[in-house]
Structure 1
Amino acid sequence: MADVVREIERKYEAADGARLDGVPELGGLPGVASVVDKEPFELDATYYDTEDQRLARGHVTLRRRMGGHDSGWHLKLPADPKDPGVRDEVHAPMADELPASLAALVRSRLRGEPLLPVMRLRQRRTVRELRGEDGITLAEVGVDEVRAERYGPGGGTAEWTEIEAELGQGQDPVLLDAIDVRLRGAGLSRSSAPSKLRRALDETAPKAEKKAEKKGKKQRGKKGAPEPVPTAADVVMAYVRAQVTAIVELDPAVRRDVEDSVHRMRVATRRLRSAFRSYGAVLDRDVTRPVGEELKWLAAELGVDRDREVLTARLAERLAEVPRPLRLGPVSGRLRTFSHARRTGSRRHLLSVLDGARYLELLTTLDGLAAHPPLREKTAAKPPEEVIRKAVRRDYDRLAAHIGEALAAPPGDSRDLAVHEARKCAKRARYAAEAARPAFGRDAKLFASRMTELQELLGDHQDSVVARLALKDLAGQAHAAGEPSFTYGLAFGREREIAAEREAALPGLWAAITRDAASFP
């Protein structure tokens, strides 16, 4: 069994040989009632990664550590892309081999590559606990005296001392800001390395690797060197790589059933597939088309539970709006039965998909495509202003045609279908504009925002169509069971009103979007 804790910490540089008495007085900080010095203790950890450091490149650390209160296997995963100090730490009991629960969480990155011991970190830790009035630990500030030993040929050793401030579970991060002021006031500075492992890898790297890195930094830092002119390929591939990274990084969250992770991963697959279609002038469609089909498959697998949950929530909301005297029969029970009947054991099925060869092969294909994109050289090398604007405009024109069909269609199935097609086009135009932001800045951002507004309106209309079909089904089931179906009819009528309201709002919104589109795309 694995346990998960949210780790929020900050690291500071300290002079070699520093002890805890070198840390400034920490009493009097907001909410701190007492400061308790703990006895020093030893930690001994072996860190694992692939030969090409796939985990480290993804800001993931995996270690087997002895000592302290939490001996065992620890996996640290990024939890906030804006703050490397916020990570989810997954613990598993001590074992000789990597526990299956942790192995699953790194599968999207490893994809069959063997794990090797890459670093041994031994440290002496001295901790000072900051406690509240109730004796609860609000934060810990500790001094770590670290010795790193790199495994493998050419590996070296390194020693350093650092100070680490870690927030207690569920505590207010404002306390870390107050600690930060104290530590900086004492002449300490935030560590340049996001983790001990990263610092150890940098300081123990073979001489040839250090030399190459130093040369690269020198080249990048040359004064007067002209900035490379971005191309259409640069803009498109930045967006593509961001979506590939999102899919891989969200994999552990989906496996852990983190809230909204399935939806976010599904959106990343859709964005990626949409980029392939919108920017066919930059990326060879003969190469991206089959990849797009695999992304469509993955999105469908991810959407099984999501679509059911969204529909059930909408039906529950609509039925709850019916006045209680008019809710006839076992409405809530009927909805539960309806929802459970649509379950397919999809949670277990989704995990089997993520462990399957087809999915892992898709991730490998995406990595290859990101590293070696199938560029259409003549177009890809052009300035983004020329190629990107044309692509967004093409998507917008396609959307305009479908909006025209929706506005002209008579009420009923034909209009519902036209609105649904327009919604899909709005989503594609939105994603194309998102990719265009590095080239067009605020204009692309505003256009994408408009597309989001339109997509939400059209999406609510489509959700109403689906809800009405489900309510009709519920009414039929209730009737067959000898239950009143009156309540479902009332909810059906309200959904029809909502669809009509969205249809009535569409012309005005589209007129505003058309005016804005005079400047972009």
Structure 2
Amino acid sequence: MAERHLEIEQKYDAAADFVLPELDGLPGVVSAAEPEVHELHASYFDTADLRLAAHGITLRRRRGGPDAGWHLKMPAGPDSKQELRAPLGRPLIVPPRLAGLVAAYTRGAELCPVATLETRRTVVRLLGEDGAELVEVADDLVTGRGGGDGAEPERWREIEVELRDGPAELLKAAGKRLRKGGAKKGRSSSKLGRLLGEAVVPSESAAARAAARSRIAAATSNGKGPSITTGEVVLAYLAEQVEAVVAFDPKARLGEEDAVHRMRVATRRMRSVLRSYRTVLDAERTAQLGSELRWLAAVLGEVRDLEVLRMRFAEAPAFLLDDLGQKERAAYRRMNTSLKEPRYFALLDELDRLIAEPPLVEAADKKARKELPDLVTRAWDRMAKDYASIKGAKDPDVARHETRKSAKRARYAAELAVPVLGVAAKRVVKDAKRIQEVLGGYQDGVIAMEHLGAAAKRTRVPEEAFTLGVLYGQERCRAEGARDRLSTTWSQTLGPSF
């Protein structure tokens, strides 16, 4: 298992004659430890076309210093990165665990050395009253080479200020002191980014996703919503979901809380849009994509269903939780195996192509403000039809399940339209979500009862069987309660009013 660490730091460029100012007078800082000097050698790995660097990700093997080893850094927010570490191992063999975490970006392409950095680092640690390390200030003299050993070296000096156990305000105060002394805000968030410079080019799909988002944001913020086409709104929404799938991929592989769920939701949103907005997108081109998205949702769904059960049975006896834990771990292993398959990488490539080369049809050029109300209403009417079918259905549970799926489609269809239709679309989202959640509560209860029934057949211990029977009764009451709330919830919905 790779060691994880959230890195919060700021970088500053400094001239060769820059003098590090006194820092022990900063708020909360009682003293500064004696400077430590380290000689660091780092080899950076990426694909030949620098896919990791294009997404702000760095993967290196570094010798020297107290944290020698493999380091994978992935953006986690402003001034912060999620860092994962692994032992030094072999020089040219990326640890499989780290390689797997960037597979959504590399997609089978080889990871190879793309740059080396030699750094003479002088570290000053700022300490608090109890001796706790509040901030680490690293004064780095860097020599970098990119493009092979024969490339001309580039040299520069930079200051890194990394937050340890201190408050965020201290990071800001230290930066202010450095800037007052002559340092400037760093031109790049990483040494590798600075070294490679213009060699790092966003992919065509990433550029298309950014353009789609920018178009919607600019038009809506300037009050020009009426000029947006239906196709532009659909593409912006799809672009957001594609980015979510890729962003949550490594988090899902690590088993971070709610990551599988959010990755699955993004997958289902895309499937829903392909169906609800099939008059905007070429159905022939997107048919296979919808099928592959359904496959991915199923892969993620096995883990998610077990996560829901684990949370639902949080207070259950240990024997039941242990059984659930074993099943969940096995499901994660199967999921991670599927996320290594060429089939998954091909799906990601096709999603990129969907945004970069959108299969729009004539209706996509129509004004969104005019077309979206009809498309959202159509999705709502489908849900209403499915809801009406529950009464008198041969199998009401099947009808409820279909209603839940159409409620999701209505919700996502309206969610997509919010930037253009505003409050009216938000109300549809809220109403559809309420129906979805009531039916989801019923479905979760049914799944829980099925699991408890299966567990009861396996046990030979009377006490365990009794406990499972009690839990089964509780789940049945919860499920029936959700089922009985459905008609009341439906009566409180207003439906589209555009």
Give the TM-score taking structure 2 as reference length.
0.83
From the superposition, tell whether residues 101 and 333 of structure 1 become closer, same or farther in structure 2 (CA, over 3 Å): closer
Q: Which moved more, 1:53-62 or 1:151-160?
A: 151-160
- 2:368 aligns with 384
Q: Which moved more, 1:379-388 or 1:195-204?
A: 195-204
Q: CA deviation at 1:165?
A: 0.9
Aligned 8 A contact 1:74 1:89 in 2: yes
Taking only the aligned residue pairs, the percentage that are identical comes to: 41
Instruction: Choose which of 143, 149, 169 in structure 1 pairs with 2:145.
Output: 149
Instruction: Choose which of 41, 44, 50 in structure 2 pairs with 1:44.
Output: 41
Distance in 1 (CA, whole Å) between partners of 2:83 and 2:175 is 22
Q: CA deviation at 1:486?
A: 5.9
User: Is 1:59 matched up with 2:40?
Assistant: no
- 1:278 aligns with 276
User: Is 1:8 matched up with 2:8?
Assistant: yes
From the superposition, tell whether residues 123 and 420 of structure 1 become closer, same or farther in structure 2 (CA, over 3 Å): same
Aligned 8 A contact 1:150 1:201 in 2: yes
From the superposition, tell whether residues 161 and 75 of structure 1 become closer, same or farther in structure 2 (CA, over 3 Å): same
- 2:444 aligns with 463
Secondary structure at 2:90 match in 1: coil
Distance in 1 (CA, whole Å) between partners of 2:437 and 2:200 is 51
How many residue pairs get aligned? The number is 475
- 1:129 aligns with 125
User: Is 1:345 matched up with 2:343?
Assistant: no
Distance in 1 (CA, whole Å) between partners of 2:255 and 2:354 is 28
User: Is 1:68 matched up with 2:65?
Assistant: yes
Distance in 2 (CA, whole Å) between partners of 1:120 and 1:484 is 60
Instruction: Choose which of 397, 411, 425 in structure 1 pairs with 2:406.
Output: 425
From the superposition, tell whether residues 492 and 385 of structure 1 become closer, same or farther in structure 2 (CA, over 3 Å): same
Distance in 2 (CA, whole Å) between partners of 1:28 and 1:334 is 53
Aligned 8 A contact 1:74 1:92 in 2: no
Question: Which amino acid in 2 is paired with 1:386?
Answer: K
Aligned 8 A contact 2:59 2:71 in 1: yes
Q: How does 1:474-485 map to 2 (within 5 A)?
A: none
Aligned 8 A contact 1:156 1:205 in 2: no
Secondary structure at 1:418 match in 2: helix
Q: How does 1:238-253 map to 2 (within 5 A)?
A: 238-253=236-251
Aligned 8 A contact 1:147 1:159 in 2: yes
- 1:201 aligns with 196
Question: Which amino acid in 1 is paired with 2:442?
Answer: H
- 1:416-435 residue CA offsets vs partner (Å, 9 max, x unmatched): 43333222122122222222
User: Is 1:394 matched up with 2:378?
Assistant: yes
Question: Which amino acid in 2 is paired with 1:3?
Answer: E
- 2:206 aligns with none
- 1:88 aligns with 83
Distance in 2 (CA, whole Å) between partners of 1:112 and 1:163 is 36
Q: CA deviation at 1:187?
A: 5.9
From the superposition, tell whether residues 342 and 511 of structure 1 become closer, same or farther in structure 2 (CA, over 3 Å): same
Aligned 8 A contact 2:303 2:335 in 1: no
Q: CA deviation at 1:502?
A: 3.0
From the superposition, tell whether residues 496 and 74 of structure 1 become closer, same or farther in structure 2 (CA, over 3 Å): closer
Q: CA deviation at 1:460?
A: 0.9
Distance in 1 (CA, whole Å) between partners of 2:197 and 2:157 is 15
Distance in 2 (CA, whole Å) between partners of 1:395 and 1:285 is 17
Q: How does 1:30-41 map to 2 (within 5 A)?
A: 30=28, 32-41=29-38
Distance in 1 (CA, whole Å) between partners of 2:179 and 2:150 is 36
Q: CA deviation at 1:129?
A: 0.6
Question: Which amino acid in 2 is paired with 1:396?
Answer: W
Instruction: Choose which of 402, 410, 425 in structure 2 pairs with 1:444.
Output: 425
Aligned 8 A contact 1:26 1:182 in 2: no
- 1:486-511 residue CA offsets vs partner (Å, 9 max, x unmatched): 65555444444434443454344334
Question: Which amino acid in 1 is paired with 2:5?
Answer: V
Aligned 8 A contact 2:10 2:79 in 1: no
Q: CA deviation at 1:109?
A: 1.5
From the superposition, tell whether residues 428 and 186 of structure 1 become closer, same or farther in structure 2 (CA, over 3 Å): farther
Distance in 2 (CA, whole Å) between partners of 1:341 and 1:29 is 49
Question: Which amino acid in 1 is paired with 2:305?
Answer: D
- 2:358 aligns with 373
- 1:184-211 residue CA offsets vs partner (Å, 9 max, x unmatched): 55565533422222222227789xxxxx
- Give unmatched runs, 5+ long, in structure 1: 207-219, 221-226, 321-331
From the superposition, tell whether residues 437 and 196 of structure 1 become closer, same or farther in structure 2 (CA, over 3 Å): farther
From the superposition, tell whether residues 446 and 12 of structure 1 become closer, same or farther in structure 2 (CA, over 3 Å): farther
Q: CA deviation at 1:76?
A: 1.0
- 1:456-485 residue CA offsets vs partner (Å, 9 max, x unmatched): 22211222233344445556666x765686
Secondary structure at 1:163 match in 2: strand
Aligned 8 A contact 2:2 2:84 in 1: no
Distance in 2 (CA, whole Å) between partners of 1:301 and 1:44 is 41
From the superposition, tell whether residues 44 and 334 of structure 1 become closer, same or farther in structure 2 (CA, over 3 Å): closer
Aligned 8 A contact 2:69 2:85 in 1: no
What root-mean-square deviation, in Å, do the aligned CA atoms of Structure 1 and Structure 2 show?
A: 3.4
Distance in 2 (CA, whole Å) between partners of 1:425 and 1:397 is 9
Aligned 8 A contact 2:13 2:183 in 1: yes
Question: Which amino acid in 2 is paired with 1:36?
Answer: A
Distance in 1 (CA, whole Å) between partners of 2:331 and 2:464 is 32
User: Is 1:514 matched up with 2:494?
Assistant: yes
Q: CA deviation at 1:386?
A: 2.8
Secondary structure at 2:25 match in 1: coil
User: Is 1:100 matched up with 2:105?
Assistant: no
Distance in 2 (CA, whole Å) between partners of 1:204 and 1:362 is 27
Q: Which moved more, 1:136-145 or 1:173-182?
A: 173-182
From the superposition, tell whether residues 336 and 25 of structure 1 become closer, same or farther in structure 2 (CA, over 3 Å): closer
From the superposition, tell whether residues 85 and 337 of structure 1 become closer, same or farther in structure 2 (CA, over 3 Å): closer
Q: CA deviation at 1:67?
A: 2.6
Secondary structure at 1:404 match in 2: helix
From the superposition, tell whether residues 416 and 264 of structure 1 become closer, same or farther in structure 2 (CA, over 3 Å): same
Q: Which moved more, 1:49-58 or 1:504-513?
A: 504-513
- 1:77 aligns with 74
Aligned 8 A contact 1:7 1:89 in 2: no
From the superposition, tell whether residues 67 and 341 of structure 1 become closer, same or farther in structure 2 (CA, over 3 Å): closer
Distance in 1 (CA, whole Å) between partners of 2:199 and 2:314 is 59
Question: Which amino acid in 2 is paired with 1:47?
Answer: Y
Distance in 2 (CA, whole Å) between partners of 1:87 and 1:340 is 26
- 1:224 aligns with none
Distance in 2 (CA, whole Å) between partners of 1:381 and 1:145 is 54
Distance in 2 (CA, whole Å) between partners of 1:171 and 1:442 is 42
Question: Which amino acid in 1 is paired with 2:85?
Answer: V
Secondary structure at 2:339 match in 1: helix
Give the TM-score taking structure 1 as reference length.
0.80
Distance in 2 (CA, whole Å) between partners of 1:135 and 1:106 is 37
- 1:168-194 residue CA offsets vs partner (Å, 9 max, x unmatched): 2x6543432343444455565533422
Question: Which amino acid in 1 is paired with 2:436?
Answer: Q
Distance in 1 (CA, whole Å) between partners of 2:180 and 2:376 is 51
Secondary structure at 1:374 match in 2: coil
From the superposition, tell whether residues 181 and 502 of structure 1 become closer, same or farther in structure 2 (CA, over 3 Å): farther
- 2:163 aligns with 167
